[in-house]
């Protein structure tokens, strides 16, 4: 029987074939998988400090060991080969390269990524790099973190160091992962490192992160002007629950005020007026900032997980009849197609990569050791199909990275929320393919989703 595919007339189509050069991948992040938090000269990051602070992380989990990828990377690349990945998105730990955030380079840290990249290339898996996925050097945080403009320049220096070492083998460079989560969860909500709760600061951090992105983009291009540079944003679609003008207005306002925070400055060079109003005014902008922020981008990375829904009264907190993942996000794959089309209508988009998409569910290990994660598999299938449909609508999507290769340290949620298509037993570090992993391997092999 054909599976349920949200929003589709499944009777009319059975095979969704992707372009031959479509970049199928999986994604991870340094703090979430590496472990080895204080090995081989690595400096402390704000996430080390935060997870070591009692009460911050569910179950008092830390990333001290995580998936032990720092030691098991060869095994992990073998798993990637089994999946048939064309590309692997990973991030570099800034304090592993520069223990003090600036100044002395830790050669052992650079060597680690150098070997990883060599092995990926030997396995014919394209390394797709992210320079910053939240593990900011603790010592630079103590000197003002992302509010101190000197640190934006330190980030650019770090970008240049990594580019000089790896730029001969990596062509796609993402500067920062989800600046919105750093600003909102790290500096305003406080549930992420560094755990501040200061709205004014958070707004400034959001701006400064874009300046840091711009400076890093210049630094990367300064090393090699042929490299492809982009940024990774998390975008949730804002949908209206019905046709009532007030519902549509509410969804539109929600989009304009929050979802444009990074898109507008980066792709248009100015802040959306509704965004400025929502955050209570403009951040401090220095001469030249907006030009730096809005310089040409070679690609845009979109992390997509869910959407927000609005009716005439406002935000719909619980969508009747909807499926939710273990982390409490609504499953709504058609919103991905709508999002991609909206982005394409509203902005002059560079090529797009879905740099993250996936789902946390409570996995059950069967007696024979298998993991029949049918809900995750279904989630991925629906999102693959909606991506393909958005491409048919005319959106230039070049690749897709499943979040995540492995179960890993899910930030404030610790190890309890599993997103991997490969299970990790955190007691033994054993890796086991889930059904979703085997299914993804088949999609990549066929370069098509068949239903």
Does 47 interact with ligand FCB (rule: CB under 6 A)?
no
Output the smallest distance, CB 210 to ligand FCB, in A.
17
The smaller minimum CB distance to ligand FCB, of residues 181 and 441, is found at 181
Output the smallest distance, CB 27 to ligand FCB, in A.
8
Report the alpha-carbon distance of residue 54 to residue 120 in Å, rounded. Answer: 37
Report the alpha-carbon distance of residue 213 to residue 180 in Å, rounded. Answer: 13
Dihedral, CA of residue 210, residue 213, residue 218 and residue 220, to nearest 10: -170
Q: Which of 34, 68, 126, 178 binds ligand FCB (CB under 6 A)?
A: 178
The smaller minimum CB distance to ligand FCB, of residues 8 and 343, is found at 343
**Residue 351 gets which letter from DSSP?**
-
3-state SS class at 231: strand
Residue found under tokens 């981008």: 297
The smaller minimum CB distance to ligand FCB, of residues 216 and 292, is found at 216
Catalytic residue among 196, 356, 410, 413: 356
Tell me the residue ranges of DSSP E strands in 283-404.
Answer: 299-303, 307-311, 314-315, 352-356, 397-403
177-185, 367-375, 382-390, 441-449 -> range binding ligand FCB (CB under 6 A): 177-185
Q: Spell out the residues 6+ positions from residue 413 whose beta carbon is closer than 8 angstroms to its own.
A: 57, 58, 327
User: Can you say whether residue 55 is alpha, beta or left, with left for phi > 0 and alpha for psi between -120 and 50 degrees?
Assistant: left
The smaller minimum CB distance to ligand FCB, of residues 102 and 174, is found at 174
Does 146 interact with ligand FCB (rule: CB under 6 A)?
no
Q: How many CA atoms lie within 13 A of 411 on its CB side?
A: 18
What would the x/- binding string for ligand FCB be over residues 239 to 268, using CB under 6 A? ------------------------------
Q: How many CA atoms lie within 13 A of 426 on its CB side?
A: 21
Q: Which of 181, 227, 276, 285 binds ligand FCB (CB under 6 A)?
A: 181
Does 139 interact with ligand FCB (rule: CB under 6 A)?
no
Report the alpha-carbon distance of residue 427 to residue 432 in Å, rounded. Answer: 13
Q: Which of 177, 247, 260, 386 binds ligand FCB (CB under 6 A)?
A: 177
Size of the site for ligand FCB (CB under 6 A): 12
**Residue 45 gets which letter from DSSP?**
B
Output the smallest distance, CB 95 to ligand FCB, in A.
17
Cis peptide leading into residue 79 (ω within 30°): no
Does 356 interact with ligand FCB (rule: CB under 6 A)?
yes
The smaller minimum CB distance to ligand FCB, of residues 126 and 178, is found at 178
Asked if 325 and 257 count as a contact pair (C-beta separation under 8 A), the reply is: no
**Residue 228 gets which letter from DSSP?**
E
Give, in order, the Cα–Cα distances in Å from 381 to each of 7, 263, 307: 13, 27, 18
Does 410 interact with ligand FCB (rule: CB under 6 A)?
yes
Q: Are strands 299-303 and 307-311 parallel, antiparallel or unpaired?
A: unpaired
68-76, 164-172, 175-183, 293-301 -> range binding ligand FCB (CB under 6 A): 175-183
Output the smallest distance, CB 356 to ligand FCB, in A.
6
**Quick count: other Cβ atoms within 10 Å of Cβ 89?**
31
The smaller minimum CB distance to ligand FCB, of residues 378 and 413, is found at 413
The smaller minimum CB distance to ligand FCB, of residues 210 and 240, is found at 210
The smaller minimum CB distance to ligand FCB, of residues 234 and 386, is found at 234
Does 419 interact with ligand FCB (rule: CB under 6 A)?
yes
For the question of residue 330 being annotated catalytic, the response is no
Does 44 interact with ligand FCB (rule: CB under 6 A)?
no
3-state SS class at 129: strand
Output the smallest distance, CB 118 to ligand FCB, in A.
25
Catalytic residue among 178, 196, 259, 330: 178
55-63, 160-168, 176-184, 192-200 -> range binding ligand FCB (CB under 6 A): 176-184
**Residue 396 gets which letter from DSSP?**
-
For the question of residue 178 being annotated catalytic, the response is yes
Does 29 interact with ligand FCB (rule: CB under 6 A)?
yes
Does 88 interact with ligand FCB (rule: CB under 6 A)?
no
Task: Produce one character per residue of 229-268: b if its CB has 16 or more CB atoms within 10 Å, e if not.
Answer: bbbbbbbbbbbbbeeeeebbebbebbbbbbbbbbbbbbbb
Give, in order, the Cα–Cα distances in Å from 302 to each of 69, 75, 117, 219, 402: 25, 28, 23, 23, 12
Residues 377-406 that bind ligand FCB (CB under 6 A): 403
Does 306 interact with ligand FCB (rule: CB under 6 A)?
no
- The residues assigned a catalytic role are 178, 356
Binding footprint of ligand FCB on the chain (CB under 6 A): 29, 32, 177-178, 181, 234, 303, 356, 403, 410-411, 419
């Amino acid at each position: 029987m054909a599976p349920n595919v949200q929003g589709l007339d499944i009777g009319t189509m059975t095979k969704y074939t992707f372009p031959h050069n479509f970049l199928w991948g999986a994604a991870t992040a340094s703090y979430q998988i590496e472990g080895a938090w204080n090995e081989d000269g690595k400096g402390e990051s704000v996430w080390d400090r935060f997870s070591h602070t009692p009460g911050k992380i569910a179950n008092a989990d830390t990333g001290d060991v995580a998936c032990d990828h720092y030691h098991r990377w060869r095994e992990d690349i073998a798993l990637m080969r089994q999946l048939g990945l064309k590309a692997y998105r990973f991030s570099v730990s800034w304090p592993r390269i520069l223990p003090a955030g600036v100044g002395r380079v830790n050669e052992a840290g650079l060597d680690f990524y150098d070997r990883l990249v060599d092995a990926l290339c030997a396995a014919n898996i394209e390394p797709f790099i992210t320079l910053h996925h939240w593990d900011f050097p603790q010592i630079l945080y103590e000197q003002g973190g992302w509010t101190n403009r000197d640190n934006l320049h330190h980030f650019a220096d770090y970008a240049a160091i990594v580019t000089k070492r790896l730029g001969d083998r990596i062509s796609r460079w993402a500067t920062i992962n989800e600046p919105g989560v750093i600003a909102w969860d790290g500096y305003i909500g406080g549930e992420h490192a560094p755990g501040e709760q200061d709205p004014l600061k958070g707004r400034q951090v959001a701006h400064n992160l874009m300046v840091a992105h711009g400076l890093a983009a210049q630094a990367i291009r300064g090393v090699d002007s042929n490299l492809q540079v982009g940024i990774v944003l998390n975008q949730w679609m804002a949908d209206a629950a019905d046709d009532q003008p007030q519902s549509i207005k509410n969804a539109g306002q929600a989009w304009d005020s929050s979802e444009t925070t990074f898109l507008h400055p980066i792709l248009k060079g100015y802040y959306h007026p509704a965004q400025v109003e929502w955050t209570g005014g403009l951040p401090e902008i220095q001469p030249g900032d907006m030009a730096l922020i809005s310089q040409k981008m070679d690609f845009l990375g979109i992390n997509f997980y869910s959407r927000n829904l609005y009716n005439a009264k406002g935000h719909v907190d619980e969508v009747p009849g909807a499926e939710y993942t273990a982390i409490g996000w609504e499953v709504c794959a058609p919103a991905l197609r709508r999002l991609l089309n909206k982005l394409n209508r509203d902005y002059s988009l560079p090529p797009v990569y879905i740099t993250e998409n996936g789902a946390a569910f409570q996995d059950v290990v069967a007696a024979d050791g298998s993991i029949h994660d049918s809900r995750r598999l279904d989630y991925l299938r629906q999102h693959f199909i909606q991506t393909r449909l958005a491409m048919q609508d005319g959106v230039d999507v070049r690749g897709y990275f499943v979040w995540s290769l492995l179960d890993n340290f899910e930030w404030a949620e610790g190890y309890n929320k599993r997103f991997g298509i490969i299970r990790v037993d955190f007691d033994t570090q054993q890796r086991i393919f889930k059904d979703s992993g085997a299914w993804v391997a088949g999609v990549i092999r066929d370069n098509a989703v068949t239903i």
